[in-house]
Amino acid sequence: MLNDYTMEMIEGKVCPYCRCETKKVSSDRIYGKDYFPGKFFLQCPEIKEHYVGIRFDGKSLGSLANKELRELRKVDFNTFAVRHYAQDIKHQKITSL
Ligand SMILES: [Zn+2]
- Spacing, Cα 89 to ligand 1 middle (Å): 41
| Shared domain check, 75 and 50 | no
- The CA distances from residue 33 to 28, 36, 37, 40, in Å, are 4, 9, 10, 13
Same domain, yes or no: 15 and 59: yes
Question: Residue 18 — very low, low, confident or very high, per pLDDT cuts 50/70/90?
Answer: very high
Q: Are residues 75 and 97 in the same domain?
A: yes
> Is 55 in the same domain as 79?
no
32 and 3 co-located in one domain: yes
pLDDT at position 6: 93
Same domain, 76 and 87: yes
**Which residues, at least 6 apart from 13, have a Cβ–Cβ distance to it below 8 Å?**
21, 22, 42, 60
pLDDT tens digits, one per residue of 46-96: 999 999 999 888 899 999 999 999 999 888 777 766 776 777 777 776 666
Residue pLDDT, tens place only, 20-51: 999 999 999 999 999 889 899 999 999 999 99
pLDDT band for position 7 (50/70/90)? very high
C-alpha of residue 54 to centroid of ligand 1, in Å: 17
Number of structural domains (the chain) is: 2
Q: Are residues 71 and 58 in the same domain?
A: no
Q: Which domain holds residue 55?
A: 1-65
Domain co-membership, 60 together with 71: no
Centre of ligand 1 from the C-alpha of residue 20, in Å: 7
Q: Domain check: are 55 and 12 in the same one?
A: yes
On whether both 12 and 31 belong to a single domain, the answer is yes
- The answer to pTM > 0.85 is no
